[in-house]
Chain A
Amino acid sequence: MLALTDCIGRAVSDADGIRVGRLSDVGVRLEDAAAVVTSLHVRRSRRAPAVVVSWARVAAFETTDITLSARCDALGQDPSPPDDLRLVRDVLDAQIVDVAGARVVRVGDVDLDRRDGALRVVAVEVGWAALLRRLGLRRLADRVSPESIAWQDVHLASGRAHALLLSTPSAAVHRMRRAELTHLVAELPSTRSAEVLRAVGPERAAAAISGARPGASGRLLETLGPQDAAPIVAAMRADDAVAALREVDPETRRLVLDEVASARASELRRLLGHPPGSAAGLMSSDVFRAGSDEPLDAVRARLTASRPRLEGLATVFVVDGAGRPVGTFTPLMLLAGDARPAPALTVRADAPVQAVVDLFAMHDVLAVAVVDAMGRVIGAVAVDDVLEELLAERLPGRHGAWFAATRRRHAA
């Protein structure tokens, strides 16, 4: 194993043993879950631009001895692929996201490993040991245990490197689970988060934005711009989309909704019309209704065919001809074959959020129906919507802890 900073600045000699210059950077190409060294950048003097030597012309690469297989005067400028990463310029000291540990850190050193004649990046070092070593405090560094992150768990957050990784299908971000993605998006600067969301596609981006803390989701939509935000908003559950859109400035909100398919857009506009502190402001219009005369088998088949995106909303509300609720079936009741629905819990659209909270506290249910002034079902509030609302009130600015806990629970 070689440490990058032990090699940088070392003398490079040619096939005849004549000194060419000093190693200034190392070019790598991103391959499946690995980064393979493709070139060395050798600087002849402090001012001169570096000469790029392809890896094929390197005879020996050790910390004590870097020798080329070509002669000094035959060294032209090997073409350096423009999309290659450079370890010193793009990785060393740059910010990275440790995907496994869900934190943003800076790279202290890069570990290289030789296998089958190729040199690969296997890990990056973070933490004190690498830092102390580079500051010349080796003795102190030896007392600290080194901390490294495997290359496949690294997401580079700096400029070009970030963009390159996003375009690599095997990069860590594409393997992340919902909660991990949510955390990553929360940790990165907004512009970088927006790029990640674009790269992972609307479905996963929608899940990540839905999980983002209050305030952050709106900012992400704004940074994405109406064109990119629209498909994500369309893929979000109606109540989450409304919550996120409430945080966006009115002009952007209008532009985003203009890009969303008209039926969905008008539904979102209607939901946005409800005041935020009311039951209707929290509700999702994706409510599952069944006719009072509909056979149970048909209801079961319909529910399985159009699976709601949330367990709580899998509650079936039985409505009469006018759309008024007459009963409710939970999935468990349908499974057990209960023929008689339980009484439906309802709340008026303009009821304060506290009324919904009280209802959930008193009854063992996952969702309650929201009814309009005529008593017709217009939506449902699921228990998680209420939880988010309560957390936003109780823990202003302390969502970091909450999200970290959520992430750990999901990872476990």
Chain B
Amino acid sequence: MAALAAVVGPGMLAGLSDDDPAGITTYSILGAEHGYRLLWVLAVSTAALVLFHELGARMGCVTGQGLAGLVRERYGVRWAAVGLACLLVANIGTTCAEFAGVAAALELAGVSRYVSVPLAAAAVSALVLRGGFHRVERVLLAVSGVFVAYIAAGLLASPDWGAAARGLVVPSLPLDREAVLLTAATVGTTLAPWGLAFIQSYVADKRLTPKDLSLERVDVVTGAVMTGVIGFFIVVACAATLHRQGRSIHDAADAARALEPLAGGLAATLFGAGLLGAALLAASILPLSTAYSVTEALGVEGRLDDPWREARVFYATYGVIVVTAVVIVLLPGAPLVGILYLTQALNAVLLLPLLVFIRGLARDRELMGVHALGRAGRAATAVAIAALAVCVAALAVLSLWR
């Protein structure tokens, strides 16, 4: 157990931060619009999460390097630069979404965003700038405990467990535009480029080795399954209340508001608290993931234990991302909805080449030695990438159709 506790972290944090405000919104809409019917999509995306997060953790353990660094080493500086530029834009956009989530969650409690967002930004910056690796990790893991709120909210909504179980294992897809779009969005929001980059860099920062792999797998699977379970309870909470009443919602804060008359004040408060915790967690991890990627691609790897003097680029990137996102979110009249929409699209587009890179790196025997991807792994990742490509294509075609 002590050995497991020493390894735990990367899988949990990378997984749970995928349940960010954008994710919660998607799951809420999935439940509110389609009830229990599309729960199987969540099971599928959880499987994909396990598959690719395990690969990320494995590469981090074996090579001791992050994804952006490996892409530069193996595919050259041009690919790394193009990838980094896209990642930078997408990550700033996503960080905006997380701070917007903080604003939305606290506005439920009547706190102005001009107070909540700067405070949240100061808190996450102080955490990373003032604390070493272990302190940062402990605080983030503690914050992710807030996700229990969703499980409680799901239970309070007194759902139809039989229907939920059926929806989870029996795949069915109504062939209308909205449903296909939502399916693709669910997969896209669960598997995120920054999450993949984060898990590998973080494993490398944690100095895990191939010896830690078996325990790290436990961490990855637990993190991914918990991500799925939390998604499940969000869908169930919305399906049991909003869907039955035929209410439709636009975002996660909307869902919290709509839950109040249906499942009681406690469920609504829990839903809002969960949103706040999720937003804070993702708002700390996104700039961190970006800082790792930028420093790796530039070749000046930074670590959480490094003092400012030795990792200027690392901390400066973190600061710039946070400040940029806060300014965008607080700018009166900023086209926030457009930015968030564009970010989702960019994340989806970026995901495919990134997965291809990951697969290419993971099967490279020279790099990975005995830990290289075997035949089964190659087949599984190929199928997953193909399925995701279909999702992304569907998303693109249906979005343009409108």
Contacts and interface: CB of A to CB of B under 8 A. Distances in A.
Interface of A: 93-95, 103-108, 126, 128, 131, 134-135, 158-160, 188-192, 216, 219, 222-223, 249, 396-401, 404
7 contacts: A93-B72, A106-B299, A106-B300, A134-B77, A190-B64, A223-B211, A398-B305
Contacts of B307: 398, 400-401, 404
A400 B310 contact: yes
B298 interface: yes
B83 to A, nearest CB: 13
Interface in B298-354: 298-301, 303-307, 309-310
Contacts of A216: 207
A401 B217 CA distance: 32
B76 interface: yes
Contacts of B209: 189-191, 219, 223
Contacts of B310: 103, 400-401, 404
A284 B77 CA distance: 51
B64 A104 contact: no
Contact of B298 (A131, A222, A249, A398): A131
B305 A400 contact: yes
Contacts of A400: 303, 305-307, 310
B299 A131 contact: yes
A231 to B, nearest CB: 20
A396 to B, nearest CB: 6
Contact of B69 (A106, A131, A222): A106
Contacts of B246: none
A157 to B, nearest CB: 8
A131 to B, nearest CB: 7
Given A223-B211, A404-B310, A95 B301 contact: yes
Return the 7 tightest CB-CB contacts between A and B, nearest first: A397-B132, A189-B64, A106-B299, A401-B307, A190-B209, A93-B73, A400-B306
A93 B69 CA distance: 8
Nearest to B296: A106
A131 B309 CA distance: 22
A128 B132 CA distance: 28
Interface string B51-85: 00000000000111100010011001110110000
Contacts of A135: 77-78, 81
Given A105-B299, A192-B64, A400-B306, A94 B73 contact: yes
Contact of A189 (B78, B132, B134, B207): B207
Residue from B3, B204, B299, B307 having most chain A Cβ neighbours under 10 A:
B299
B131 A397 contact: yes
A128 B303 CA distance: 20
Contacts of A126: 299
A105 B311 CA distance: 11
B360 to A, nearest CB: 15
Interface string B188-209: 0000000000000000100111
B226 interface: no
B210 interface: yes
Contacts of B370: none
Contacts of B109: none
Given A190-B209, A400-B306, 20 more contacts: A93-B73, A104-B301, A105-B299, A108-B77, A131-B299, A134-B77, A135-B77, A190-B64, A190-B207, A191-B209, A222-B211, A249-B3, A397-B304, A398-B132, A398-B307, A399-B305, A400-B307, A401-B307, A401-B309, A404-B309
